[in-house]
Amino acid sequence: MHLRFAKMHGLGNDFVVIDAVRQHVELTPERVRFLADRHFGVGCDQLLVVEPAGQAGVDFRYRIFNADGGEVEQCGNGARCFVRFVHEQGLTAKREIRVETKSGVIAPRLEDSGLVTVDMGVPVFAPARVPFVSDSDAVVQPLDVAGTPVAITAVSMGNPHAVQVVADVDGAPVAAQGPLIENHARFPARVNAGFMEVVDEHRIRLRVYERGAGETLACGTGACAAVVAGIRRELLVSPVRVETRGGELEIAWAGVGEPVLMTGPAVTVFAGEIELA
Ligand SMILES: N[C@H](CCC[C@H](N)C(=O)O)C(=O)O
């Protein structure tokens, strides 16, 4: 199968983006893993597929696959690249689009500044909907991580996140704890593990060990999850600048029941073609 794609990134969280509107695309987990492989394939954290809208009132459908081949519900950095891609490819002339994902509709908008703002929808804290196995709905809960009790906030941005506060993000046990939290039995769909350092009430530093991809240079939904967790823990006040290893995001949230707005860059690195077995 011949495939045209774009290589893009949002703050170093990188993507292979595929137009499945004008080309026939048949993806399998094996093909996704090959495309994502940084030695044998193209290389990316996630693969993003642009499909025609499946319902009225939206412009496109957006499918997201982690490097491990699994399809997931949401990708924030990818949403910013998505709107840049459909614009650059002439798939739409709109600067704000409504996009159907596995976890609902999001609305990315190309700003005059060249940045992209995305309405990422309303965060969900109910454990059963994260999903997080718990008989409590407390904002902060102890999670036993290989014998170490870690205080986490479980929250869904469409995809599941477990956010903890650390004193120093550079020294945080991301490599050691990340995989253990990602695959923790209390997260039946696995989970993205966030490590947040609070600089002040309007600024954090964040690292995320992503479900199905490992530590990435930035995680858009992870930034949203960290900020809403910090606001609910009364450590943060909206808006919040999130410093990731790949650069900065601006996150705004008006409170429980309200959508999260994320603003940041989206970059096209190159266009390519590949023949898939
Ligand atoms: N690893 C995530 C998907 C990608 C999210 C991240 N790249 C973002 O920008 O939100 C998950 O399994 O839920």
Q: What percent of the chain has pLDDT above 70?
A: 100
Shared domain for 22 and 39, answered yes or no, is yes
Shared domain for 211 and 241, answered yes or no, is yes
Query: ω into residue 131 within 30 of 0, thus cis?
Result: yes
Shared domain for 131 and 252, answered yes or no, is yes
Pairing of strands 46-52, 247-253: unpaired
Shared domain for 101 and 206, answered yes or no, is no
Pairing of strands 203-210, 192-200: antiparallel
Reported ipTM: 0.98
Model confidence at 234, pLDDT cuts 50, 70, 90, reads very high
Shared domain for 10 and 112, answered yes or no, is yes
Residue 66 annotated as binding? Answer: yes
| Of the candidates 78, 50, 115, 53, the residue with the CA atom closest to the CA atom of residue 224 | 78
* Most informative mutation of 132, 208, 219, 228 for ligand 1 (most atoms within 8 A of CB): 219
The yes-or-no answer on residue 44 being catalytic is no
Averaged pLDDT score across all residues of the chain:
98
Position in ligand 1 atom list of the atom nearest CA 213: 1
The pTM (predicted TM-score) of the whole model is: 0.98
C-alpha pair distances (Å), 241 with each of 83, 109, 207, 263: 22, 19, 14, 10
Model confidence at 113, pLDDT cuts 50, 70, 90, reads very high
Q: What percent of the chain has pLDDT above 90?
A: 100
Contacts with 115 (C-beta within 8 Å, 6 or more apart), sequence order:
263, 264, 265
Binding pocket residue ranges, ligand 1, CB within 6 Å:
13, 45-46, 66, 72, 75-78, 159, 192, 210-213, 216, 219-222
CATH number at residue 205: 3.10.310.10
* Model pLDDT, residue 183: 98
* Model pLDDT, residue 125: 98
Alpha helices of the chain — where are they, by DSSP H? 29-36, 76-88, 174-182, 220-232
Rounded Cα gap, residues 241 and 121, in angstroms:
19
Strands (E), 67-175: 71-72, 99-101, 104-110, 116-119, 141-145, 148-156, 160-165
Length reported for the chain: 277
CA nearest ligand 1 atom 3, residue: 75
Is residue 267 helix, strand or coil?
Answer: strand
* Model pLDDT, residue 44: 98
Model confidence at 66, pLDDT cuts 50, 70, 90, reads very high
* Tally of domains in the chain: 2
Shared domain for 96 and 182, answered yes or no, is no
Shared domain for 109 and 209, answered yes or no, is no
Instruction: Please report which helix (H) or strand (E) contains residue 48, including its range.
Output: strand 46-52
Per-residue model confidence as pLDDT tens digits over 238-272: 999 999 999 999 999 999 999 999 999 999 999 99
Shared domain for 249 and 139, answered yes or no, is yes
Backbone angles phi, psi at 61, to 5 degrees: -110, 145
Shared domain for 168 and 75, answered yes or no, is no
* Model pLDDT, residue 173: 98
* Model pLDDT, residue 165: 98
* Model pLDDT, residue 151: 98
Q: What average pLDDT does range 103-111 have in this prediction?
A: 96
* Model pLDDT, residue 32: 98
Shared domain for 9 and 70, answered yes or no, is yes
Model confidence at 194, pLDDT cuts 50, 70, 90, reads very high
Shared domain for 102 and 133, answered yes or no, is no
Q: What average pLDDT does range 33-40 have in this prediction?
A: 98
The yes-or-no answer on residue 75 being catalytic is yes
Model confidence at 130, pLDDT cuts 50, 70, 90, reads very high
Q: Quote the ligand 1 centre to 244 CA distance (angstroms).
A: 14
Per-residue model confidence as pLDDT tens digits over 39-49: 999 999 999 99
Q: What is the DSSP letter of 124?
A: B
* Model pLDDT, residue 72: 98
Per-residue model confidence as pLDDT tens digits over 118-127: 999 999 999 9
* Model pLDDT, residue 64: 98
Domain that holds residue 95: 2-119+265-275
* Model pLDDT, residue 27: 96
Backbone angles phi, psi at 222, to 5 degrees: -65, -35
Q: Hey, what amino acid is at 8?
A: M
Shared domain for 49 and 100, answered yes or no, is yes
Model confidence at 235, pLDDT cuts 50, 70, 90, reads very high
Position in ligand 1 atom list of the atom nearest CA 161: 13
8 Å CB contact between 78 and 48 = yes
Q: Quote the ligand 1 centre to 259 CA distance (angstroms).
A: 18
